[in-house]
Structure formats: C-alpha cells, structure tokens
Chain A
C-alpha cells in the first residue's frame, strides 16, 4: 500500500521547513547584530524584513521539495510494475502542504500553549486580552493555508503555470503582512479568513473538485458540514 511511503516523507518536509526557518533566523540574527540595537523602529523594520525573507525561503524550500519529490516519484515509477508510481502527485501535494502547515503551526503556537497552562493574566500590561484565542484562530488559518498552498503550488509547478506560483507566494506574503496589523484583529483576522476560504476554494478546484462532485458526495454521504464535504470531495478525484 502506498500509505507507508506517504508517512515516511513527513519528517523530510518538516525538516525542509525547519531549515528554511533556520536560514531566515540566521539572516535576521546577523542583521540585528549588525544594526543599532536601540532604534526600535529599525528593529521593527528588521523584523518585517526577517519575516519577509522567511516567507520567501519557505516557498523556495517548498519548490525544492517539489523537485525532490518529482525525482523520487520518477524513480518509484521506473521500478514499479506498471510504470506508474504508487502515489499520485496530488496526494503528495496534499501531504506536503499539510506537514508544512503542521510544523509551521506547531512552531508558532506551542510556546503559547505551554504558557497558557501556567498562572497568569492575559493582557495585564495593556495588550489585548484575546491573545490566546486569536492565536489559536490564526494558527488554524495558517495550517489550512499551508495545505491549500501546497496543493496549488504543486499543481502549478506540474503544469508550469508560473503565475499561479507567483500568486501563492504573494498570498503568503500578504497573509504574513496582515498579521502585522495585530492587535487590530478586525483588520487582520477577517481578511485572513477570507483569504483562507478563497484559497481553499481555489485548491479544491485545482484538485479537480467541482460543485458537481460536492453534490455527488452529499447525495451518498448525507453530510451537512460544508467544510467536511470539501475534504471528502477532495478525495474523490484521487481515486481516478
């Protein structure tokens, strides 16, 4: 079964993300040390720069991972019996996006989670008291977004639609930029969720789903939740 082969590359993906994060931190660290520590505006600017570099590096490593997977896929295809690789590229795209999302989300939120157990009061220094809940929502959005971006990205690379690639990178930058508007949560959370929904729809369509598929699934599965429908419908094309 192809399942083991899907599970195995989970850590390479996480590893790739980690390496990209490492490089971005290195760049930020070096820039901070070379600059004036006292200037708050400069530090903030450097932070923005570091975040942007990190986003670009993440996408670059996603691309590198795509190339690696293509090569491995070709290798698997040549030695398999019927000349097809056991895993479809779509599955790989989905799992790749998901694991990028998982490691990114976990890295963002686990310290917050660990702190939330301990005694304390949120926002006692005048920050927003909704820190935890908005962090939770933002992390969820980010994980979903990474999954969707993974699907779109791989599909775009496969079909060589470079404008799609550019759009993915741009939306990643936009999302990250929107988080800079925290703690004005109306300005950041709502647009991010809109972006998530749109990207989700786009990924759904890219993966071959359509309204027709959704109806087909609805009729045989009788689910009500549209978000669940999206995923179960996403699986239908995989069985082609």
Chain B
C-alpha cells in the first residue's frame, strides 16, 4: 500500500524529537470483545474480543522545542491552558460519545419494540446452557448464576488467550480472527436482521436484490472498518455492528442470566482494567511498551483521525509525523493554540497524509483528539437498555430511565478519565446506575406513574 511506503520514508526526521513525546503519551485503548457463538452459526469460530476500556489522549503539549513551528511555548503557561482545554474539550468529548451511544441504543430499542423476532425465545447460546424454565425461584436463580459463571469464564479465557497472542506477536492470527468475526457480523447477522425486519413489515424482496444489498453493505463495511474509509461511515458501521451484537445477546440470553451477567461483567471489567495483573491492563502496557495501537479495528474512535488496520512495530514510530491530516471541519474549529500532538496510535493517514509529512508538522493546528470507547461497552449498554425495553411490561419510562442512567454513568466515567488520564473501565458506573434504575423504576416508579396517569394527574 502506498501509504505505508511513503510514511516509512519520512519516518526518520521528525521522529527524533517526537519519540520522547510519544512515549509520554497516554495509553491507547485496551479493548477486546468476548467470544460468542450463536445457535445458528455453530461452525465458525468467530470469537470477538470485548473492549472494555476508554481512554483519552489529552491534548499534548510539546516541551518547548517547537522551533520549527515558530511559536515558542512555555511549559508553565501551558499547564493552565491545558487544564482549561481539558475541561473544554472534555465536554466536547462527552458529546462526541453521547451521540453514538444514543444512536446505538435507539437502534436497539426501535428494533426490539417493532420486530417481534428479537423478543421471542428460540433457544439459548451454548454459553448459557442452564435453562430458566424451572418452577422454583431458587432454582432459577441458581441456574442464572451458573450461566453467568460459564459466560464470564469464557470471556476470561478468551481475553487471556488474546493477551498471550498479542504478547507473542501472533498478529496475523489476531488479524484473521478479527476479520472473521466482522465478516460474520456484517454478513450473517445483517442478513438475519434484514430478513426479520422485512418479515415484520411484510415487504416482499427477491433474493438477487437482497444479495446485492447485503454484499454491498458487507463489503463496504469490511473496507471501512479494517482499512480506510470516511470517519462517519466507519463510525456508522461500528454502531451498526454493536447494535446487531447487542440484539443477538438480548435474544439469546435468558432474562435473569442477562441481568446477572451484566453485573458480573462490570465487576470483571473493573478488575481487568485496574488490577496490576489484569489481562486488559497487561494488554495496555504491552501495547504501550511497543508503542502500538491496540486492535484499532474494533474501537470506536471519535477522533478526526483514526488508525486503520493493525500497526506493524516498525511503522509505529513514524506515527508522529504522519498524522497531521485534519478534517476541514476540524481546521475551522480550533483556536490556533500551539500544542502539537503526537499520538503513537495514529499510525496511518488518509491520502493527503503521505504527500505532506513535513509541511503538516509545521502547521500548528490543534488536533482534536477524540475519546475512544471500546465496542464491548456499546454492546453492553445497548443490551441493558434493550432488555429494559423488552421486558419492562411495555413501559417506556423504564427504558428512558435506564437510558438516562447510562448516559450519566458515561459522563461520570469521562470526568474521571479527565482527572486520572489513564485507561479506565467504562462499564462499571454506567451499568450499576442502569441496573439500579431499571429495577427501581420497574418496581417503584411504574406503579406510581401508572396510577397518576390513570387519574390524569401531573406532578
């Protein structure tokens, strides 16, 4: 690919002062998705890794040797500016994440409420073998706990496997795994989804048209996610595959197991990202040591630039110079502050990049470094809201309450991220709020509001 070659040529010059910046970068996103096999696709080993981290690279301020930029920058004066920038852009990042999370949840809720297929019980995944059709409450609880244990251990095993693969540099294997899983999502699940939607609305469609549509959708999706594409399109595809995955979970997880799994996953997330020997943390640290991005194909990035594909170790070092591609919107937005940004994750640029690696270095525009959120977080947020929509006795208040709770949790997590500036688990706070609000709204608020509404009382 042309991009690679040009970039490797220009790798030498800017790197020297940049490498010190890069090693000081905040860590890239630790993430992977958990493995899952549906009842239908029993053959494919399409495991996906769960993403459970979110991090934000702060606007990095250079150390003052920005001589080629021509603007001397003092470090002390930068501290205050950095703080204010942090807050200002912190708010912006929150919005940038609110929109996709909201969109994903809207898609899931809309589908659940309209397409009957996803609320019918048609069997269970092999990861949750214990049925919940038992007569006694205690037995049901026990079964759901056992299901949870099995599911979480599958996730842990997959995660450790992934970390080992990453540690021993089996990149091809991981890449192949990712491609296979996104293939399955983009083609098979989309086909099922489209089929069910068409059935619900009683729209006739012939197979050639369907084939054409799905082929185009899937092929463009593969290219966008794993290679290059417009940012909005890539974001849209990531949202869609998260929604599809969440719908599969909602359909195939039995009720109580789903809630217990959600709780257990957030605890696991907390431990995996924060404990010193946690697999996710090891993943992050390994990636940091090698100055590489981690599996960029399965992270949602709200930044104006994003990595495509997996970085090879030798090309990682050239990340600093080659990343100065900006969207036109970004150019207009900032206020011409001085800091240059080096991010070891931005290993590839889009087409204008290779032709202007040096000139862009001097350009002095402020780059909007977006927040990155793992797709697993999207999936589990949507599972929570979707389950609330599916099982809350047709009540919209519960869905809304869970939605607000999750957004608040995300807000708080991003706040903590701005404070701590390292990779944080995005699931625990949101899922806790979501669960609390779900159960309390369903059991306490709903009777109250229903009684009020029946008398047409307003509070």
Residues of A within 8 A of B (CB): 4-5, 7-8, 11-12, 14-15, 18, 21-22, 24-26, 28-29, 47, 50-51, 54-55, 58, 76, 79-81, 103-104, 106-108, 110-112, 114, 131, 134-135, 138-139, 142, 175-176, 179-180, 182-183
Residues of B within 8 A of A79 (CB): 80, 83-84, 87
Please pick, from A18, A81, A179, the residue contacting B458 in the complex, using a CB distance under 8 A.
A179
Given pairs A26-B440, A106-B400, 16 additional interface contacts (CB within 8 A) = A4-B88, A4-B94, A15-B404, A24-B459, A25-B444, A47-B451, A51-B457, A79-B83, A79-B84, A103-B400, A111-B449, A114-B394, A135-B456, A175-B458, A176-B457, A182-B456
Residues of A within 8 A of B396 (CB): 110-111, 114
Known: A7-B95, A107-B400. A112 touches B457 (CB 8 A): no
* Distance from B127 Cβ to chain A, minimum over Cβ atoms (Å): 33
Residues of A within 8 A of B277 (CB): none
The prevalent SS among residues of B at the interface is helix
Per-position 1/0 for B27-41, Cβ under 8 A of A: 000000000000000
A81 touches B441 (CB 8 A): no
* Distance from A115 Cβ to chain B, minimum over Cβ atoms (Å): 9
Please pick, from A7, A29, A103, the residue contacting B447 in the complex, using a CB distance under 8 A.
A29
Residues of A within 8 A of B92 (CB): 4
Complex-state Cα separation, A17 to B451, whole angstroms: 19
Please pick, from B444, B452, B457, the residue contacting A22 in the complex, using a CB distance under 8 A.
B444
Give the interface segment out of B141-149, B261-269, B405-413: B405-413
Q: Which residue of A lies closest to B96 (CB)?
A: A4
Complex-state Cα separation, A180 to B456, whole angstroms: 8
A26 touches B444 (CB 8 A): yes
* Distance from A182 Cβ to chain B, minimum over Cβ atoms (Å): 4
Residues of A within 8 A of B437 (CB): 18, 22
The prevalent SS among residues of A at the interface is helix
Residues of B within 8 A of A183 (CB): 456
Complex-state Cα separation, A50 to B404, whole angstroms: 23
Q: Which residue of A lies closest to B81 (CB)?
A: A81
Complex-state Cα separation, A236 to B420, whole angstroms: 40
A8 touches B83 (CB 8 A): no
Residues of A within 8 A of B450 (CB): 111
Q: Which residue of B lies closest to A109 (CB)?
A: B453
Residues of B within 8 A of A (CB): 80, 83-84, 87-88, 91-92, 94-95, 98, 394-397, 400-401, 404-405, 407-408, 411, 437, 440-441, 443-445, 447-453, 455-459
Known: A176-B457, A179-B457. A81 touches B451 (CB 8 A): no
Residues of B within 8 A of A114 (CB): 394, 396
B95 touches A4 (CB 8 A): yes
A176 touches B459 (CB 8 A): yes
Known: A58-B459, A76-B87, A176-B457. A107 touches B444 (CB 8 A): no
Known: A55-B459, A112-B453. A11 touches B404 (CB 8 A): yes
* Distance from A120 Cβ to chain B, minimum over Cβ atoms (Å): 14
Complex-state Cα separation, A25 to B450, whole angstroms: 11
Residues of A within 8 A of B453 (CB): 108, 111-112
Residues of B within 8 A of A22 (CB): 437, 440-441, 444-445
A12 touches B444 (CB 8 A): no
The 5 A-B residue pairs with the shortest CB-CB distance in the complex, in nearest-first order: A4-B91, A25-B448, A182-B456, A25-B444, A25-B445
29 pairs, CB–CB < 8 Å, chain A vs chain B: A4-B91, A5-B91, A8-B91, A11-B404, A11-B408, A12-B411, A15-B405, A18-B401, A18-B405, A18-B437, A21-B445, A21-B459, A22-B437, A22-B445, A25-B440, A25-B447, A25-B449, A47-B457, A51-B452, A51-B457, A108-B449, A108-B459, A110-B400, A111-B396, A111-B453, A138-B458, A139-B458, A142-B458, A182-B455
* Distance from A119 Cβ to chain B, minimum over Cβ atoms (Å): 15
Residues of A within 8 A of B80 (CB): 79
Known: A47-B455, A131-B456. A81 touches B84 (CB 8 A): yes
B404 touches A14 (CB 8 A): yes
Complex-state Cα separation, A51 to B449, whole angstroms: 10
Residues of A within 8 A of B84 (CB): 79-81
Complex-state Cα separation, A108 to B459, whole angstroms: 9
Complex-state Cα separation, A76 to B447, whole angstroms: 41
Residues of B within 8 A of A104 (CB): 459
Complex-state Cα separation, A24 to B445, whole angstroms: 8
* Distance from A82 Cβ to chain B, minimum over Cβ atoms (Å): 11
Residues of B within 8 A of A12 (CB): 408, 411
* Distance from A28 Cβ to chain B, minimum over Cβ atoms (Å): 5
Complex-state Cα separation, A23 to B452, whole angstroms: 16
* Distance from A30 Cβ to chain B, minimum over Cβ atoms (Å): 9
Complex-state Cα separation, A14 to B401, whole angstroms: 9
Q: Which residue of B lies closest to A12 (CB)?
A: B408
Known: A4-B88, A176-B457. A107 touches B449 (CB 8 A): yes
Residues of B within 8 A of A106 (CB): 400
Residues of A within 8 A of B94 (CB): 4, 8
Residues of B within 8 A of A24 (CB): 448, 459
Complex-state Cα separation, A145 to B404, whole angstroms: 22
B458 touches A108 (CB 8 A): yes
Complex-state Cα separation, A110 to B92, whole angstroms: 30
Known: A15-B404, A18-B401, A111-B395. A28 touches B458 (CB 8 A): no
